[in-house]
A and B are shown apart, each in its own frame.
Chain A
Amino acid sequence: MKPSPAFDRLEAIVVQILGLHGTHLEPSTRPTDVPGWDSLANVNIVFAVEEEFGVEFSEAELKSFGTIGEFAAGVDAALARGQIG
Chain B
Amino acid sequence: MDADRRPADARARAEVPSAETCLEDANAALAAGDLTAAYRSLLPVADLTGAYRPWAAAVALLSRLEAAGPAPGRRREIRVAVAGSYTTAQLASFLKLAALRRGVGVDVHEVGFDLYAQEILDPSSGLYRFAPDYVVVAPHEGAIPFPTFSDDPAAAVAAEADRWERLWRAVQEHSSARVVQHNVVLRPESPWGHVGARLAGSRDEMLRALNAELARRAGNEVLVVDCDRIASAIGKERWFDDRYFHLAKQAVALDALPELARHTAAVLAAAEGLSAKCVVVDLDNTLWGGVIAEDGLAGIKLGAGDPAGEAHVAFQRYLAALRQRGILLAVVSKNNDADARKPFEEHPDMVLQLDDFATFIANWEDKATNLRRVAETLNIGLDSLVFVDDNPAEREVVRQVLPDVEVVTIPREPARYVRALSQTLLFEAAAVTAEDLARPVQYAARAAALRLQENAGTLDDFYASLEMEALVAPFDELNLPRIAQLVGKTNQFNVTTRRHGLAELRAFADDPGYETMYVRLRDAFVDHGLVAVLVARQDGDALDIDTWLMSCRVIGRTVEHTMLEQLCELAQARGLRRLKGTYLPTEKNAVVQDLFERLGFSCLSGVAGAESTWEYDIQANGVIRSEFIRRWDEAVAGV
Query: A: which residues have CB within 8 A of B?
Result: 13, 16-21, 36, 39-40, 43-44, 46-48
Q: Report if B318 contacts A (CB, 8 A).
A: no
**CB interface residues, B 29-82, toward A, < 8 Å:** 52-53, 56-57, 59-61, 63-64
Contact A17 B56 (CB under 8 A): yes
A-contact bits for B408-438, CB 8 A (1 contact / 0 none): 0000000000000000000000000000000
Q: Which residues of B contact A40 (CB under 8 A)?
A: 87, 89-90, 248, 250
In whole angstroms, how far apart are the Cα atoms of A17 and B248 in the complex? 16
In whole angstroms, how far apart are the Cα atoms of A59 and B353 in the complex? 62
Closest 5 CB pairs of A and B: A19-B60, A16-B57, A43-B248, A17-B56, A43-B247
Can you list 30 pairs linking A and B with CB atoms under 8 Å apart? A16-B53, A16-B56, A16-B57, A16-B60, A17-B53, A17-B57, A19-B57, A19-B59, A19-B60, A19-B61, A19-B64, A21-B27, A21-B61, A36-B60, A40-B89, A40-B90, A40-B248, A40-B250, A43-B247, A43-B248, A44-B52, A44-B56, A44-B90, A44-B254, A46-B247, A47-B52, A47-B241, A47-B254, A48-B52, A48-B53
Chain B residue nearest to A59 (CB atoms) is: B247
Q: Which residues of A contact B247 (CB under 8 A)?
A: 43, 46
Least CB distance, B248 to chain A, in whole angstroms: 4
Q: Which residues of B contact A16 (CB under 8 A)?
A: 23, 53, 56-57, 60
In whole angstroms, how far apart are the Cα atoms of A40 and B52 in the complex? 14
Chain A residue nearest to B24 (CB atoms) is: A21
Q: Report if B244 contacts A (CB, 8 A).
A: yes
In whole angstroms, how far apart are the Cα atoms of A17 and B58 in the complex? 8
Work out how many contacts link A and B, with CB atoms closer than 8 A. Answer: 46
In whole angstroms, how far apart are the Cα atoms of A6 and B248 in the complex? 25
In whole angstroms, how far apart are the Cα atoms of A12 and B248 in the complex? 22
Q: Which residues of A contact B248 (CB under 8 A)?
A: 39-40, 43-44
Least CB distance, B257 to chain A, in whole angstroms: 10
**CB interface residues, B 221-238, toward A, < 8 Å:** none
In whole angstroms, how far apart are the Cα atoms of A72 and B89 in the complex? 27
Q: Which residues of A contact B87 (CB under 8 A)?
A: 40
In whole angstroms, how far apart are the Cα atoms of A39 and B23 in the complex? 25
Least CB distance, A18 to chain B, in whole angstroms: 6
A40-B87, A40-B89, A47-B254 as given contacts; A17 in contact with B244, CB under 8 Å: no
In whole angstroms, how far apart are the Cα atoms of A48 and B53 in the complex? 7
In whole angstroms, how far apart are the Cα atoms of A43 and B244 in the complex? 8
Q: Which residues of B contact A39 (CB under 8 A)?
A: 248
Contact B60 A17 (CB under 8 A): yes
In whole angstroms, how far apart are the Cα atoms of A54 and B89 in the complex? 26
In whole angstroms, how far apart are the Cα atoms of A13 and B57 in the complex? 9
In whole angstroms, how far apart are the Cα atoms of A13 and B60 in the complex? 12
Seed contacts A40-B87, A40-B89, A48-B53; 20 additional CB < 8 Å A-B pairs: A16-B23, A16-B53, A16-B57, A16-B60, A17-B56, A17-B57, A17-B60, A18-B60, A19-B60, A21-B27, A40-B90, A40-B250, A43-B250, A44-B52, A44-B90, A44-B248, A47-B52, A47-B241, A47-B254, A48-B56
Chain A residue nearest to B87 (CB atoms) is: A40
Chain B residue nearest to A36 (CB atoms) is: B60
Chain A residue nearest to B253 (CB atoms) is: A47
Chain B residue nearest to A52 (CB atoms) is: B53
Least CB distance, A39 to chain B, in whole angstroms: 8
Chain A residue nearest to B89 (CB atoms) is: A40
Least CB distance, B27 to chain A, in whole angstroms: 5
Least CB distance, A26 to chain B, in whole angstroms: 20
In whole angstroms, how far apart are the Cα atoms of A13 and B54 in the complex? 10
